[in-house]
A = this chain, B = another copy of it.
């Protein structure tokens, strides 16, 4: 496979809560750690943590510092290596701008959502990744707000696991989707 580059974005706004109301979710330390490790494992270029809340960005910056320069860097250097993929940005647009600038070309966002009924297949998404740099966009809370799906960006089909239960943690959804899109081996 020759992909043009894949990035991951974890969005904390605009998000819906369990009632469907528009909210900004809090950044979860563990999401940052787990998704950074999974992204590093699958050779993802960058992992954008998206929140407009300045205090949250400051908090994550402090956590990153601990693992990249502080005591954590000595205790577990693998953690710092994974977290070096993290970029903190106030909006998805800024994530796209930042990554596009470093690539020298525009990247295409691909939205995900557990409650989507449509969306392109994983096979089509792999084909698209051969043509353009793709930023795979994950929501927190109860998912990306509807307005995100009105921008004409492609949407990935939901993970169909075989049960009617549809409440994977976002950390697990990222792992499954990156594995389906990027694993460098036969899926057998």
Seen from chain A, the residues whose Cβ lies within 8 Å of a Cβ on chain B are 18, 30, 33-34, 37-38, 40-43, 76, 78-79, 81-82, 121-123, 159-163, 165-169, 171-176, 178-180, 182-185, 187-188
Contact = CB atoms under 8 A, between A and B. Distances in A.
Contact of A161 (B160, B165, B169, B182): B182
Given A169-B34, A175-B175, A187 B187 contact: yes
A165 B121 contact: no
Given A122-B187, A160-B185, A169 B43 contact: no
Nearest to A183: B161
A46 to B, nearest CB: 14
A34 B161 contact: no
A179 B182 contact: no
A188 B123 contact: yes
B162 A38 contact: no
Contacts of A81: 165
Contacts of A79: 167
A33 B162 contact: no
Contact of A168 (B37, B163, B173): B37
Contact of A182 (B38, B82, B162): B162
A162 B81 CA distance: 16
Nearest to A184: B162
Given A172-B38, A176-B175, A187-B180, A163 B30 contact: no
Given A122-B188, A179-B161, A41 B167 contact: yes
Contacts of A160: 183-185
Given A160-B183, A172-B175, 20 more contacts: A37-B169, A37-B172, A38-B168, A38-B172, A40-B163, A40-B165, A41-B168, A42-B161, A82-B165, A82-B167, A122-B187, A122-B188, A159-B183, A160-B185, A162-B182, A172-B172, A172-B174, A175-B175, A176-B176, A179-B180
